[in-house]
Chain A
Amino acid sequence: MNQFRLGNLCGGHPGAGEKYQGLESWIFTVCWIVIVLFFLTIPVQAKEYDYINISNPYLNKTPVAVTEFKAFGGHQTEVDAGTRAMQILKNSLNFTGYLKVINSAAYLSNPAQTGIQLGQINFKDWTGIGADLLVTGGIEESQGQVKLKLRLFDTFNSKLLVGKIYTGADSQIRKMIHMFCSEISHKLTGNWGVFNSKISFVSTVKGNKEIFTCDFDGHNPKQLTHHKSISLSPAWSSDGQWIAYVSYAGGKPDIYIKNLKKKPGFIINNKGLNISPDWMPGKDILAATLSFSGNQEIYLLTKKGEIIKRITRGWGVNVSPKFSPDGKKLAFTSNRGGNPQIYVKNLETGDVKRITFEGRYNTSPAWSPDGKKMAYVGIEKNKINIFVTSLDSGTGTSIQLTMHTGDNEEPSWSPDGSLIVFTSNREGKTPRLFVMTAAGTDQRRLLILKGKQSQPSWSGSTSSENI
């Protein structure tokens, strides 16, 4: 029996998020969801079911069928909650970019009627319509409390891969579905996926720029800052507890370190620029560009702003520091060679290596979570696009991920490395947030929000407590 604690940031189903937002006490009343492994005899090793390699750029989507939810009580509230849960489940699986939910019109049987458990399913009905995977769901609802019974099957081997029961408030259906999606992801890819991650970004509000956060799929956008100024460049700490960002609230660009649980924050406001913060993985240490010396140089800082070490030393602009996932290297943009290019500094040896060579303008480095690839932005012939290059020695050719669709910039990887969120002005010349697979496929709008959105930053795979 496993227990997972729920944190305070998850919303309800779409439309109910606001209703539950701000209710502090519910954390304590309903924050424990009991997850029961109710099939005790699952002879499955994770390795055996390494179904999907999400870093394969030539990935075909795996077809999955998601059945109607069986309503055990059968009353309308329960049926409605089940429909809602099923829709969230389908949207979430489709969002991954490596699963494709088969249209339910094609389904040959209805486990909601005939049974959702292993012995009750005729797998030929599912292999027959091309479903490699099947997810069944059941729901019991009583006085605002729901119990969700969710199962993932391998249709060709007639095997149960994961089975879980979640109980909690009706408002937490979205959260519970996402927990099961994490289980599915882990079973299929070996990685817990994106489902408990968040994205921070910049959006205009009445002409000012403010920092926002939203769920991994663009749901529950929340305004984090109210400076009524220019606020930029949000960056998550690896535990998801802090966001560092830049704001002109004090009249010039300073770095603000904000705690998401209302602990006191810090302001780093040296003379000149204080910009482009990034957190060292697993540490309370930041890299940022400061210009008090007269040059725009990168420094390592404590979160209170005390300088630990100067990282760059040279003529020109040095910005956009990004720690490698192991924290041992630092990528950054510098125009030391005459125009902006991306360099990687080994923080242990001090060696600096230039990694972009094509074109005269390459910026915005973003490490893939496995540290093997770097996404970045290149400008060629006035076209701004996102590229990815392999960091393994010997290779180094760049693949262009976006093209012929306006300007595309500011890439940030999902914590499982399967997706990239970015800014594009492809729709009506207005910057909006988009998401695509790491191979550049499935490019789609992340969220619909008033104003202009930019500078998305995907959080790490934070533990449940922080989401």
Chain B
Amino acid sequence: MNKKLWMNLMAAVLVAGLFMTVSCAKKTIVSEPTTIEDQVKAEAEAKAKAEAEARAEEARIKAQELQDQMANEQALKQAKIAAAKNRFINQNIHFDFDSSELSSMAKTLLKEKAEWMSDNPGIHVTIQGHCDERGTTDYNLGLGERRAMAAKNYLSNLGISNSRLTTISFGEEKPLDAGSSEEAYRKNRRAQFVLE
């Protein structure tokens, strides 16, 4: 039994000795810089930050792009509206000499004008009738009115309410081109559309 006790005691001493040894080993301090560890951490952090920033940038760009696109679309839409309006105002319809008959070209333009007026229901329009300088003042006042009326009746037949259409004749009093050439005459024989 005693022997067994000794054995145990020895073992205990040994273990204790082992412990001692371990304690002694711990006491030899190894000094190492944290650089690597820090670097790794910083890198990780930087990476995370960069990634976050990239994500934010990406989101921002996307938002910007969306905004730009919307603005573009808006501008395009506005431009289209303005263009349609300008076209309505600036595209005169033309007539032959001493005629208030609508040509097929005039009818095409009037259809476009009717569409525009349907898209812009609040708008009232004055149709001016004009003539070239040939012929008498009085007769041209009459002819100018017939030109304006022809345009008005066509728009009216396309469903534009008469209450939105006024006519006035200026005869030969307001030429667009003061010249006396066929080209000037052609320009001046017109119905012109003015927004009220």
Contacts and interface: CB of A to CB of B under 8 A. Distances in A.
A253 B140 CA distance: 13
Given A273-B169, A377-B136, A379-B135, A317 B142 contact: yes
B145 A272 contact: yes
Interface in A361-397: 361, 363-364, 377, 379, 382, 384
Interface residues of A, number: 40
A275 B138 contact: yes
B98 interface: yes
B168 interface: yes
B134 A319 contact: no
Interface stretch (A13-21, A56-64, A288-296, A347-355): A288-296
20 contacts: A232-B137, A233-B137, A251-B168, A272-B145, A272-B167, A276-B138, A289-B141, A289-B142, A291-B142, A317-B139, A317-B143, A317-B146, A318-B142, A333-B138, A333-B139, A335-B143, A340-B98, A382-B134, A384-B134, A429-B180
A90 to B, nearest CB: 36
Interface in B60-89: none
Given A272-B145, A317-B146, A361-B98, A289 B138 contact: yes
A363 B169 contact: no
B149 interface: yes
Interface of B: 98, 134-139, 141-143, 145-146, 149, 167-170, 173, 180
Contacts of A209: 173
A230 B173 contact: yes
Interface string A249-275: 001110000000000000000001101
A141 interface: no
A409 interface: yes
Contact of B137 (A296, A318, A429, A455): A455
B141 A275 contact: yes
B139 A379 contact: no
A289 B167 CA distance: 17
B142 A296 contact: yes
A340 B138 contact: no
A316 B146 CA distance: 8
A320 B141 CA distance: 11
B96 to A, nearest CB: 12
A410 interface: yes
Contacts of A230: 170, 173
A454 interface: yes
Interface of A: 209, 230, 232-233, 246, 248, 251-253, 272-273, 275-276, 289, 291, 294, 296, 316-320, 333, 335, 339-340, 360-361, 363-364, 377, 379, 382, 384, 407, 409-410, 429, 454-455
Contacts of A275: 138, 141-142
Contact of A363 (B139, B167, B173): B139
A273 B180 contact: no
Contacts of B170: 230
A246 B136 CA distance: 14
Contact of B138 (A248, A272, A320, A407): A320
Ranked 6 nearest A-B pairs via Cβ? A317-B142, A276-B138, A319-B138, A296-B142, A363-B136, A320-B138
A320 B180 contact: no
A196 B143 CA distance: 37
A384 B137 CA distance: 13
Which of B135, B141, B173 has the most A CB atoms < 10 Å from its CB?
A: B141
Nearest to A377: B136
A37 to B, nearest CB: 46
A299 B135 CA distance: 22
Which of A209, A273, A382 has the most B CB atoms < 10 Å from its CB?
A: A273
A232 B136 CA distance: 12
Contacts of A379: 134-135
A358 B143 CA distance: 21
B89 to A, nearest CB: 19
Contacts of B136: 319-320, 333, 363-364, 377, 409-410
